[in-house]
A and B are shown apart, each in its own frame.
Chain A
Amino acid sequence: MSNVFILADFSGDKATKTTAELATAAARIGAVTAVVLAGAGKGAALAATVNQGPIASVLILESDDFAQYGVAASADALANLIKEKSPAAVLIASDAYGKEVAARIAVLTESGIITDAVDVAADVTATQLVFGGSTTVHSKVSHGTPIITVRPNSVEADFSASSPAIESATANIGDAAKKSKVSSSQPPVKGGRPELNEANIVVSGGRGTNGDFAVVEKFADELGAAVGASRAATDAGWYPHSHQVGQTGKSVSPQLYVACGISGAIQHRAGMQTSKTIIVVNKDPEAPLFDIADFGVIGDLFSVLPQATQGIHAKKS
């Protein structure tokens, strides 16, 4: 059986659910090796958290160059490993870091690349949703090792416990990958809420909030949801830009998306219309977003949301 690499994804010192999603997709193709890139002496502890999903083995590459030289060092080590082991495919999380690592690997190993896959089949055909989710595309890499980045939260992960064999290999990193030096790194400031692109539920606010996100946040917290915002809201400085959902912000496809006071320009729809269920709350009955809503409430978010928050709270207790 052929071997497939995934690049294990971590948040802090723990493997994320994205790692299990990558493994689930990769296991359709072959036996999964999760590659762990770690600082010197840190690999074993990280590898121990890679224990969910169909993972046959974990391969640790340790080097302090990963932290010091960023994307280029990670990609170089991984590319050299791919050249040596010739896996059937390489699956990487489709975030900024993952896509750049994939891009460099594709160049270094002379391989085709597909980004933002939402699914990968046993024959390594990737499914993508393009043009803001309006078109489904199936494509396949035809040269070299297929390098595929997979969108977090797209593949339904098999979270069953696994106890993979743990091995180590040498991280080979050339000088060309050590040209940009990272002098400091700060993890993202985390509130108590889930990450936008990993959340099962996203509650977003737009122009209709008039800058007051308190009711949106309370409703989100009651649902355990991430908070998003339309471009109008982030441009107005009402909510941090990192929470923008839309064509020039983040694309999300949660189980449930609740849009509050967002009219639904095509730019916003492009970032959320692949959500499984969409709820829209808006005062304006003509808001275009109602056209794609599974459930719509024509009303003021400042009265609808608090009532709904209370209602959910009552059901839980």
Chain B
Amino acid sequence: MKIAVCVKQVPDSWAEKKMVNGLLDRESVDAVLNDLDEYAVEEALRIAEAHGGNEEGGANTVTLISMGPDRATEAIRKALSMGANDAILITDAGLAGADALATSAVLSKVISDGGYEIVICGTESTDARMSVIPAMISARLGWAQLTFASKVAVDPAGSVSITRVTEAGVDEISAAFPCVISVVEKINEPRYPSFKGIMAAKKKTIEQKDLAAVGVSASSAWSQVNDATPRPARAAGVKVTDEGSGGTALVDFLAEKKLI
């Protein structure tokens, strides 16, 4: 099987973020592999390992697909060191400020040209948090959508079944190849890259392409930010030490604020 995993380099989710000219200032913060993509990489590797492996001469390949600046190679190396085979990174000045629609268009073109059977994504990136890219890729390619999976079972003969878990409940869903899967973070425990994996990742290929090489043109974002203002920091209010009546003080506060 040819498996693709969409990964994104994001600002470290522990860092303070700010906006410049309506866009996230990505230069001033540390960049890491999106946490939630690690589960997608892990799941792809597990699927490959369960069905003949992805070592040289194995039955499967796991290819990472990413869109971002040159610097995104750092995050991609991390995913390669977990065990993915290779990567494609789309870098183009025309993609600065790209919205989810433009991003999904670029990723979809790369995916459809790559001849993959399965695409796996995390449920969202920890920066934009839109949670729309897997559904958009599925809609653009006309591939089956198998999203919010807490369990994935692949039949290499050409079908996938998942357990979808959302606030709306639990669904069992299945589809034939090709399909777009997104996985929730409870699906697995991503492996730590081994020393061997880290060394091997240095020699793996990251094919970097611009938009012309991908064969799509840059489109402007279809939504615009008018303004972005930091919200005033919340000031600490009253603090009491419990000396036997802390609970009562809490109730008094609730009553005073008319919350009970």
Contact = CB atoms under 8 A, between A and B. Distances in A.
A155 interface: no
Contact of B166 (A96, A102, A248, A309): A96
B130 A297 contact: no
A124 to B, nearest CB: 11
Residue from B101, B185, B238, B255 having most chain A Cβ neighbours under 10 A: B101
A186 B169 contact: yes
Given A136-B231, A141-B223, A296-B239, A107 B173 contact: no
B86 to A, nearest CB: 28
Interface of B: 13-14, 16-19, 35-36, 99-101, 104, 126, 129-136, 138-140, 142-148, 164-176, 179, 185-186, 221-231, 233-234, 236-242, 245-251, 253-255, 257, 259-260
Given A71-B135, A115-B131, A299-B241, A97 B166 contact: yes
Contacts of A115: 129-132
B226 A195 contact: no
Looking at B104, B179, B227, B259, the one whose CB has the most chain A CB atoms below 10 A away is: B259
A293 B236 contact: yes
* Consensus secondary structure, chain A interface: mixed
Interface string A206-233: 0000000000000000010000000000
Contacts of A106: 100-101, 132, 136, 222
Interface string A85-120: 000000000011101101110111001111110000
B235 to A, nearest CB: 8
A295 B253 contact: yes
A138 B250 CA distance: 36
B139 A103 contact: yes
Contacts of B135: 71, 75, 99-100, 103-104
Contacts of B248: 307-308, 311
B244 to A, nearest CB: 8
Contact of B144 (A138, A180, A291, A300): A180
A247 to B, nearest CB: 6
Interface residues of A, number: 89
Interface string A31-49: 0000000000000000000
Interface of A: 70-72, 75, 95-97, 99-100, 102-104, 106-108, 111-116, 125, 129-131, 133-144, 176, 179-188, 195, 197, 201, 223, 241-242, 247-248, 255-256, 266-267, 273, 277-279, 281, 285, 290-300, 303-312, 315-316
Nearest to A137: B228
24 contacts: A71-B147, A72-B145, A75-B139, A95-B167, A102-B132, A103-B132, A107-B101, A111-B222, A112-B99, A134-B16, A134-B231, A135-B229, A139-B225, A142-B222, A180-B144, A180-B145, A188-B169, A255-B259, A291-B234, A295-B240, A296-B236, A299-B241, A306-B247, A307-B246
